[in-house]
Amino acid sequence: MRAQPPVGHQANLFGTALLLQLDAQNPLLKLSTVMPWSDFDQGFAKYYTQGLGAPNKPIRLMVGLLILKQLENLSDEQVVLQWKRNPYYRCQPWRAKAGSPR
């Protein structure tokens, strides 16, 4: 089963959008604006089935983590740990923009 990427931005504990609290000049946020996310969605969608098995993680999340892993030279365990701790990893580059196709 193909999971749908989230739409919108993750709110923090106090209700303010997390993305609004981050530095817009951060290289990871800039990278996320130029990546062809819909091409990744279309290219990898053929490997997902509808209605079978447990829901998978969104394609954009998997591609984003792989990109971060390669950029930062991290192991699988390290990239997951950074994704949990680093708000720049959590917000971008895999977050779908509002109104974009899933």
Q: How far apart are CA 5 and CA 95, in angstroms?
A: 7
User: Which residue, among 67, 11, 7, 10, has the nearest Cα to 36 in the 3D structure?
Assistant: 67
At 101 the pLDDT is 38
At 77 the pLDDT is 96
pLDDT means per 10 residues in the chain (102 residues)? Answer: 61 62 83 87 85 80 90 94 86 51 38
87 preceded by a cis bond (ω within 30 of 0): no
At 99 the pLDDT is 38
Q: What global pTM score does this model have?
A: 0.67
The DSSP secondary structure of 21-86, one letter per residue, reads HS-TT-HHHHHHHHS-HHHHHHHHGGG--SSSSSPPPPHHHHHHHHHHHHHHT--HHHHHHHHHH-
Q: How far apart are CA 101 and CA 72, in angstroms?
A: 29
At 20 the pLDDT is 74
- In the chain, where the domains are located: 18-91
At 98 the pLDDT is 40
